[in-house]
Amino acid sequence: MRKTEKAIQRCKTMSTLQKILGGKWKLEILYYVAFYDIHRFGALRRQLGEITESSLTKQLRELEADGFLIRRDFKEIPPRVEYTLSDLGKSFMDVIDYMKAWGDQNLPDQT
């Protein structure tokens, strides 16, 4: 069978990961929550710099819905909300750490 006739199966795992983590800021958000202990919305926004409040809110909500983050609302005025890694998020940190190390080694001019 020729290659053009052969149906290539998509990897469902990679497709699902792409859908979950494909947001522009998601990997950075997870990185800062995990390795820099940045847990509050305002601190994340300052760290990321160029992100809008609406984009950060959207990315955080999606990461929470996908089970990577836990949102804790302190029910205070002014509002106080903190984000921490869930068990699923913690289990993904070895992958993030490896990606960072790979990038440091192979993309030195990208920093």
The full DSSP string for 37-80 is: ---BHHHHHHHH-S--HHHHHHHHHHHHHTTSEEEEE---SS--
DSSP label of 14: H
* pTM of the full structure: 0.84
Is 81 in contact with 40 (CB distance < 8 Å)?
yes
Q: Which domains does the chain have, with CATH numbers?
A: 14-97 (1.10.10.10)
* pLDDT (tens place) for every residue of the chain, 111 residues total: 455 555 667 788 888 889 898 989 999 999 999 999 889 999 999 999 999 999 999 999 999 999 999 999 999 998 889 999 999 999 999 999 999 999 999 987 765
Q: What are the DSSP calls for 30-41, one per residue?
A: HHHHHHS---BH
